[in-house]
Amino acid sequence: MTTSTIASLPAPRTAEVSRNTAETKITVKLNLDGTGQASLATGIGFFDHMLDQIARHGLIDLDIHAVGDLHIDGHHTVEDVGITLGQAVAQAVGDKKGLRRYGHAYVPLDEALSRVVIDFSGRPGLVMNVPFKSGMIGTFDSQLAYEFFQGFVNHAFVTLHIDNLKGENAHHQAETVFKAFARALRMALEIDPRSVGVIPSTKGSL
């Protein structure tokens, strides 16, 4: 491999972030240019299943281990995983040069259909319209999906719109949301070969 070839290789977009509080202890490791490999242990089975969707459909290698106060409920664990994942994504993205920036996806699962649109704008914002048909999905409180995405948005500094357009089964609704999020994330995080090294904003910064 020549010196010029080495110089032209993109830097690895990886990160490792830990968050330790009186309520949770969380470590997130990720590679934005991975193959979708995942090692997940949050203590909430359905939540692990949803995080696996992010890894596999986003082609992000994801290692998340969390110990939280599940004897109370899952709120702190789910929210803090969202926060830590957002911090890790922000760290791995760096200055956002060459980023496509925008991503969107529609994903169906049987009767359910969801749409997710994301912008790596540098401005946190979440609009989420998901009328879950059940309060609990296994041991996962469906209300915590919002807390997860709010934590992610606030710390990844993205604008995120999530809409469940159809759905009668809460498991299906949640799965379409997380899969669509993964696909939209994958699109937004791709490097645009037509604007390598360019920040995708007329302001010159994001």
Give yes or no for residue 133 having a pLDDT over 90: yes
Of 31-45, 62-76, 191-205, minimum mean pLDDT range: 191-205
What are the tens digits of pLDDT across the range 91-129?
999 999 999 999 999 999 999 999 999 999 999 999 999
**Chain position carrying tokens 């470590």:** 27
H or E segment at 104?
A: strand 102-109
* Residues in the chain, total: 206
Distance CA 102, CA 89 (A): 15
Distance CA 153, CA 172 (A): 23
Confidence bin at 2 (pLDDT 50/70/90): very low
Give yes or no for residue 7 having a pLDDT over 50: no
What integer is the mean pLDDT of 131-147?
98
Is 3-189 CATH 3.30.230.40?
yes
Buried b (16+ CB within 10 A) or exposed e, 94-130: eebebbbbebebebebeebbbbbbbbbbbebebebeb
Q: What is the average pLDDT value for the chain, to the nearest integer?
A: 94
Of 4-18, 66-80, 124-138, minimum mean pLDDT range: 4-18
Domain boundaries, the chain: 3-189
Give yes or no for residue 6 having a pLDDT over 70: no
Identify the pLDDT of residue 84.
98
Distance set, CA 11 to CA 7, 8, 15, 32, 143 (Å): 10, 9, 12, 11, 38
Distance CA 103, CA 160 (A): 10
What integer is the mean pLDDT of 21-30?
98
Confidence bin at 58 (pLDDT 50/70/90): very high
Identify the pLDDT of residue 10.
64
> Which stretches within the chain are classed as H helix?
3-8, 45-58, 75-93, 144-156, 170-189
Identify the pLDDT of residue 1.
46
Confidence bin at 3 (pLDDT 50/70/90): very low
